[in-house]
Structure 1
Amino acid sequence: MFLKSLPADSHLLQVFQANPDTARPLLDLHEVVLRGPSVFTPGERELLAAYVSGVNSCDYCHGIHTVTAEAFGVPEGLLTAALTDLDSAPIDDKLKPVLRYVGKLTRTPAKITAEDAEAVFAAGWDDRALHDAVVVCALFNFMNRMVEGLGIEAGPGYAATSGKRLHDIGYAGLAEHLA
């Protein structure tokens, strides 16, 4: 943890509690993006969040959102397989172009093309799906940089605790823990 006003072992929740003016709208956005109406299930959106975080090598967010995705029914080990080799991963063929899209948007955003979007549409998704995937991707690129920029780390077992909490109470519930 790089913030000197917080203990070295602080997690994101403690950063949010110390900064409720920015945390509250950010958690509201999380609730809308990850739990609000969408063509993607909450599990699929958590899968997208964990995938983007894995592409970014943000172990903190990747771990927590992998656990959350699994709590929503994403098979254990699926994210590891997707990050290792998306083409051979046991993921529904309809979802692979979406993951490919957010992966490219994360790695090389200036190289996204209309053809990349067309691959998502060709898999049977619509404009709302592309929009929702891009918003999840953007949110988690933001969060990954926030976590890494503040030096937030998690010890063993924290991902399981936090992921279960996010599954059980969501982001609106997390906002209730703010001062």
Structure 2
Amino acid sequence: MAHIDLGLDEAEYPGITGLMRYRPETAVALNALAEALLHAPHPTLTAGERELIAAYVSGLNDCNFCCSSHSAFAAAQLDGGMPLVRQVRADLDAAEVSPKLRGLLRIAGAVQESGQKVSAELVDAARAEGATDLEIHDAVLIAGAFCMFNRYVDGLGTRLPEDPVAYEETAQRIKIGGYVGSA
């Protein structure tokens, strides 16, 4: 049970979905942010890569709901599927991702610890692998936003879905409709 009374069946609306229904006026802004960061067209990063950054940071934050959700969302949009997502979360250095994406994930991991942990060396290393300023910006913003989303979900003690298949079903809706279209 969530730390506050959401006034709804938490089993039907687990994690952030219940919180969004509780405060629809903030849900609009949060969904718009998720849409812009993760689903909207991007000149170079795929939706799957951006979802992978969200899943990676959520895993580092031990946010089970967000890590499971965005792992499923990334898996639905990446050629490597869930095995690739698990590789990245288990051992970034050995994961079969591009050196550029690995550099962006390292930056995101630094943001998860503290924004001040993002060093010129990390940025230079990502640039050396082909990362653009826009990609570095967006990796930092996704990581920072997911630290906020993770703390929102966990800080209010939301429930996890009882059936893990729920993440896969939601992933298909997000893949097609995004965050604003599937809300």
Q: Give the gaps of 5 or more residues in structure 1.
A: none
Distance 1:96 1:153 in 2: 31
Distance 2:91 2:38 in 1: 25
Structure 1 pair 105–5 and aligned structure 2 pair: CA distance change class (3 A): closer
Matched, 1:140 2:146: yes
TM-score normalised by the chain length of structure 1: 0.90
Match of 1:48 among 27, 50, 53: 53
Identity among equivalent pairs (%): 34
TM-score normalised by the chain length of structure 2: 0.88
Task: Tell me which residue corresponds to 1:98.
Answer: 104
Task: Tell me which residue corresponds to 1:156.
Answer: 163
SS at match of 1:37: coil
Distance 1:121 1:85 in 2: 21
Cα pair 2:74 2:85 within 8 Å, conserved: no
Question: Mean Cα displacement is larger for which, 41-50 or 91-100?
Answer: 91-100
Between the two proteins, the alignment pairs up a number of residues equal to 175
Distance 2:52 2:96 in 1: 13
Q: Give the gaps of 5 or more residues in structure 2.
A: none
Cα pair 1:27 1:174 within 8 Å, conserved: no
Deviation (angstroms), 1:168: 2.4
1:141-165: per-residue Cα shift (whole Å, max 9, x none)?
1110011011112223222222222
Q: Please show how residues 6-21 of structure 1 align to structure 2 within 5 Å.
A: 6=7, 7-9=9-11, 10-11=13-14, 12-21=16-25
Task: Tell me which residue corresponds to 2:26.
Answer: 22
Task: Tell me which residue corresponds to 1:166.
Answer: 174
Distance 1:23 1:146 in 2: 12
Question: Mean Cα displacement is larger for which, 110-119 or 143-152?
Answer: 110-119
Structure 1 pair 65–5 and aligned structure 2 pair: CA distance change class (3 A): closer
